[in-house]
Structure 1
Amino acid sequence: MIKGCKDLGINLSEHQVQNIAKFLVDLQKWNKAFNLTAVRNPRDMIINHILDSFSLNKYISGNTILDVGSGAGLPGLPLAIANPNKKFTLIDSSGKKTRFIHHVKTNLLLENVTVINSRVENLNNKVVFDHIISRAFSSVARFLELTQHLLKQQGSLLAMKGNISKNEISEIPKSWKFIKQHDVHIPMLFKKRTILELKIMEEKFGSNNFNS
């Protein structure tokens, strides 16, 4: 794992490596009872969950990050462990998944993590974020629709995808600026991974009309 992290430009302290290991142990235990992830093998968890989550790291330059549809805390928990000075809010509508995330937060003393059990569209915009991230949460257009009210001006939305079609990209509303499609290589993962980076057009910022 350490080599894979270094390949992604991430240098973890011994304490951070231990926290990642504790997270994986908890994930395996809880997974037996609550079926949090289809990935069962510890090595596969490192590749498909930890290293895959870390591929986002270089794109989160801001200090506040919202992880939408976090599931088993991915990618939010690994990123929070690696970035103790950034604040992460992890939201999921599943109670069993947010209970697991809260357990890990408490067990690892992650003071930079907030856990919310809710649907993202129900969050008010009193708190907005520098980055909104997701890992195969929904179609890109749907993701934008549900979260645009929570993004800071000049903030970015980062959608992690496997294969993405031209049709899905063409459905991105004109109110959004498509910054870049980042094709990322995950060490030891022989699948295509893509990160789409988008921002709200300045003249559309604050508009409630998503399709304008």
Structure 2
Amino acid sequence: MTPAASLAEGLRALTIDVPACAQEKLLAYLALLDKWNRTYSLTALRAADKAVSHHLLDSLAILPFLPLPADGCLLDVGSGGGMPGIPLAIACPARSVMLLDSNGKKAAFLRQAVIELGLPNVAVHAGRVEQYHPQHGFAVIVSRAFASLADFVALSAPLLAPGGAWLAMKGACPQAEIARLPAGVGVDAVHRLTVPGVEGERHLLVLRKTLDEPPQADSEK
């Protein structure tokens, strides 16, 4: 099966409607990622036949759970090769997406991807999340294997807009990590995801502030 057919079939299985022009851009992103990955090791995945499922479909599987409004700003922390931020930005052109990564080579790739793919709704910041000080907060902050839940929310708490939500993409449901969430942060929802072509458990955790006080970093780490 061609990558285009695999993507179209996977989107149907996820019941996600992505226009044909956006699907073409998603595949162009994969081609660019593969080209850069040969030199800069942007991702650990090397199997070309798994790129659609593990990069595109895995990222887009969280699309139905993105909090409204659809035009709210999204921050992808530890974006790496651009996942899930770039696939989400392609599928949701009305939503502004900021890709953040502290690795200079990865940030260079992200900037090039934004230019070559023509993504006016995407910006890139190279640096550590705790040293990032934007003028406005983000409605959604997402991470894909960035850190433990406690570190994720503690480091990015100043960047979350009032009423905003953290979305943490995980494999098995991390009960131990949930138990160590800092005071003032609670689990709003846990969604078990079934991603076509991806074996093993996949979960999306939606976290929100429950108190006015900011979460503190985990002192035991």
Indicate the TM-score class for this superposition, using the shorter chain for normalisation: over 0.9
Q: Deviations over 1:151-197 (max 9, x none)?
A: 11111100001124322110012201211111111012121001111
Q: Which moved more, 1:20-29 or 1:163-172?
A: 163-172
Correspondence 1:30 to 2:36: yes
Is 1:175 the counterpart of 2:181 in the alignment? Answer: no
Partner of 1:190: 199
Report sequence identity in percent.
Answer: 35
Query: C-alpha distance in 2, partners of 1:28/1:140?
Result: 30
Which runs of no fewer than 5 residues in structure 1 stay unpaired?
none
Cross-structure match for 2:136: 127
Mapping of residues 30-69 of structure 1, within 5 Å: 30-60=36-66, 61-62=68-69, 63-69=72-78
Task: Output the aligned Cα RMSD.
Answer: 1.3
Question: CA separation in 2, counterparts of 1:125 and 1:19?
Answer: 28
TM-score normalized with structure 1 length = 0.94
Aligned length: 208
TM-score, structure 2 normalization: 0.90
Alignment partner of 1:74 out of 58, 77, 83 = 83
> What SS does structure 2 have at the residue aligned with 1:152?
strand
What secondary structure, in the 3-state scheme, does the structure 2 residue paired with 1:89 have? strand
2:196 counterpart SS class:
coil
Match of 1:20 in 2: 26
Alpha-carbon distance between aligned partners in 2 of 1:86 and 1:16, rounded to the nearest angstrom: 14
Q: Tell me what 1:142 maps to.
A: 151
Match among 87, 103, 112 for residue 94 of structure 1: 103
| Distance in 2, Cα, partners of 1:34 & 1:188 | 26
Tell me if structure 2 keeps the 8 A contact 1:72–1:100.
yes
| Structure 1 position 23, deviation (Å) | 0.6
For structure 2, list consecutive stretches of 5 or more residues without a partner in the other structure: 1-6
| Partners of 2:120 and 2:134 in 1: CA distance | 22
1:126-169 per-position Cα deviation (integer Å, ceiling 9, x unaligned) = 22011000001000000010001111111110000112432211
Does structure 1 retain, via aligned residues, the 8 Å contact 2:157–2:215? no
Give 1:82's aligned amino acid. Answer: A
Could you say what secondary structure the match of 1:189 adopts? coil
